[in-house]
């Protein structure tokens, strides 16, 4: 994602925050979630959220790298992951007992946290569901795998 091979329109979210003084702004839009992105705002942001990447075709995903919002004290501290081949039917990434895994997120706004999935996913769409955050839900991320 960081290198731009995945186009902005392929990164979508449940919603995103818009400043009250500029309701047409996309400064917190999903495409702002790219790892190490710079400038205002350094990260996607909103509450009760999810953010996803549609790879258009089937890819193999083995992990994620997450990062907080670089220009503010906002970051995701815990999240879950779902995946889908059609955008309609979703599967949770689970442990050996079938329980959805809560992955550890970040502890600050810039440190990279690498998480390996318990198994390689073969999927078209990957969705991240933040479940806990510091001050506000905002993040940047990279997908590890073969595209």
**How many percent of the chain have pLDDT more than 90?**
69
pLDDT at 80: 98
CB neighbours of 29 closer than 8 A, spacing ≥ 6? 13, 16, 44
- Alpha-carbon gap, residue 57 to 51, rounded angstroms: 18
* Nearest Cα residue to 84 out of 55, 108, 112: 55
Q: Is 27's pLDDT higher than 90? A: no
pLDDT at 22: 66
pLDDT at 48: 62
pLDDT tens-digit readout, 41-89: 777 766 568 999 999 999 999 999 999 999 999 999 999 999 999 999 9
Write the DSSP string, the chain.
-TTS-S-GGGEEES-----TT-TT--TTSGGGGBTT--SS--SEE-SS--EEEEEEEEEEEEEEEEE-BTTTTBEEEEEEEEEESSSSS-EE-B-TTSPBP-EE--SSSS--EEEEEEEEEEEEEEEEEEEEEESS-EEEEEEEEE-
Q: 8-16+27-146, superfamily in CATH?
A: Galactose-binding domain-like (2.60.120.260)
Q: Is 19's pLDDT higher than 80? A: no
pLDDT bin (cut points 50, 70, 90) of residue 24 is low
**How many percent of the chain have pLDDT more than 70?**
93
The residue that leads in pLDDT, 30 or 106, is: 106
pLDDT bin (cut points 50, 70, 90) of residue 20 is low
Check if the beta carbon of residue 80 is closer than 8 Å to that of residue 117: no
Q: Is 96's pLDDT higher than 90? A: yes
* Nearest Cα residue to 116 out of 145, 77, 76: 145
């Amino acid at each position: 994602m960081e290198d731009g091979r995945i186009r902005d329109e392929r990164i979508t979210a449940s919603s995103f925050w818009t400043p009250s003084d500029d309701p047409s702004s996309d400064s917190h839009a999903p495409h702002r979630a790219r790892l190490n992105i710079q400038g205002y705002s350094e990260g996607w942001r909103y509450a009760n959220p999810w953010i996803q990447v549609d790879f258009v075709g089937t890819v193999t995903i083995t992990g994620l790298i997450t990062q907080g919002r670089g220009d503010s004290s906002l970051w995701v501290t815990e999240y879950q992951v779902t995946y889908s081949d059609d955008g309609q039917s979703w599967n949770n990434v689970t442990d050996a007992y079938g329980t959805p895994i809560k992955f550890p997120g970040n502890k600050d706004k810039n440190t990279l946290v690498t998480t390996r999935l318990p198994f390689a996913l073969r999927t078209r769409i990957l969705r991240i569901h933040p479940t806990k955050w510091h001050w506000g839900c905002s993040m940047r991320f990279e997908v590890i795998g073969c595209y």
